[in-house]
Amino acid sequence: MTSRPAAGGGRWVEVDPARVARWVEGFADRHGPPTTTPREYGLLLAAPDGATAELHTPPGVPPALDLAGFVAAVAAPRRIGLLLARKGAVAVGIAEGGDIVVSKVDTRYVQGRTAAGGWSQQRFARRRDNQAKAALGDAVELAVRLLLPEAATLTALVGGGDRRAVDTVLADRRLAPLAALRADRLLDVPEPRHAVLVSAVDAARAVRVLVRDPGPAAP
């Protein structure tokens, strides 16, 4: 389980699907038995002391009206696609439950920035842009070859890395069936490698919870 501050207050907690019920029990122990309300994002838990927890439904999971249904839905195995892209590297994969069953990583060299000015800087910039375009072209072909044939079997496609790079790959018309499955969640990942792809599965399946603690008691 990971935790980080949330913009606007509170904190984001990522909970493994198998531990959601236990996490909710701990929340109830600390703040009192919460009321549960369905929301567009998932479920809202509101405790008697004013604490709240927003349980966000992971990609590919059907909505639930109550906590029991939510817990069962997030724990159920599902088949999701992953598309991670950043600079000159791309990783695509298909996960069943927590296991990667299809994967491919491709890395293409992209010229780094240069401190030189004038014509030399422009030449390096053009070269870097051409290399980046070629890398994204490779990423498109990889997605066409490995992900597109499986689109009908996927419950969601989760992107990660650089949003613009992922957007560019999915803009290819051939990948429209995958773009239709794309989840709002964008995973924050380093340059894609196989180990990064494997860890991305857990991040894609995790239940994101926005926790806000009760405010100070009135005098």
* Terminal C-alpha separation, the chain: 36
pLDDT confidence of residue 120: 54
Write down the pLDDT at residue 3.
Answer: 81
Q: Tell me, what's the pLDDT at 121?
A: 58
The predicted structure's pLDDT at residue 219: 45
Distances (CA, A) of 211 to 16, 45, 73, 130, 207: 16, 9, 21, 44, 12
pLDDT at position 92 is 95
Note the pTM of the prediction, 2 decimals: 0.84
Q: Rounded CA gap, 151 and 205, in Å?
A: 18
Residues belonging to the chain: 219
Domains identified in the chain and CATH numbers: 2-76+206-212 (no CATH), 79-106+138-204 (3.30.420.60)
pLDDT at 129: 56
**H/E segment holding residue 56:** strand 52-56
User: What does pLDDT average to in each consecutive run of 10 residues of the chain (219 residues)?
Assistant: 85 96 97 97 97 97 96 95 88 94 76 48 53 70 94 97 93 96 95 93 96 71
User: How would you label 181-195 residue by residue, b for 16+ Cβ within 10 Å and e otherwise?
Assistant: bbbebebebebbeee
